[in-house]
Amino acid sequence: EAGVTQFPSHSVIEKGQTVTLRCDPISGHDNLYWYRRVMGKEIKFLLHFVKESKQDESGMPNNRFLAERTGGTYSTLKVQPAELEDSGVYFCASSTRTSGAYNEQFFGPGTRLTVL
């Protein structure tokens, strides 16, 4: 079974530019999460999709961030325009959870974003 994949693995852009990150979850996983980790800090929740619907986007920093999951398969996270504080590692995770407590999340390798 293929794991969660993310593209690109690294991205270096200048302040003001646009970057789009992509996540392909494990096939059949309805739940897709985006997280961000800044060096030495916690893994911070950004948003949660169930299939193509945004279930919770309370962690999105501001309107410069736009996430989509068309068709309920892969997801994209666009940052436009990027700011210095957007630098960090962006993780995507997926799970099969539909109800109840069990929630094993499978993380992708992450995209390291550096904004100069």
Positions in the binding site for other proteins (CB under 8 A): 31, 33, 35, 40-45, 48, 55-56, 59, 91, 93, 97, 101-110
Radius of gyration of the chain (CA): 14
For other proteins, which is the closer residue by CB, 19 or 33? Answer: 33
Sign of CA dihedral 57, 58, 64, 65: negative
Q: How far is the CB of 101 from other proteins (least distance, A)?
A: 5
For other proteins, which is the closer residue by CB, 53 or 80? Answer: 53
106 three-state secondary structure: strand
* Contact yes or no for 110/8 (Cβ under 8 A): no
For other proteins, which is the closer residue by CB, 59 or 81? Answer: 59
Q: How far is the CB of 91 from other proteins (least distance, A)?
A: 6
Rounded Cα distance between 42 and 50, Å, is 23
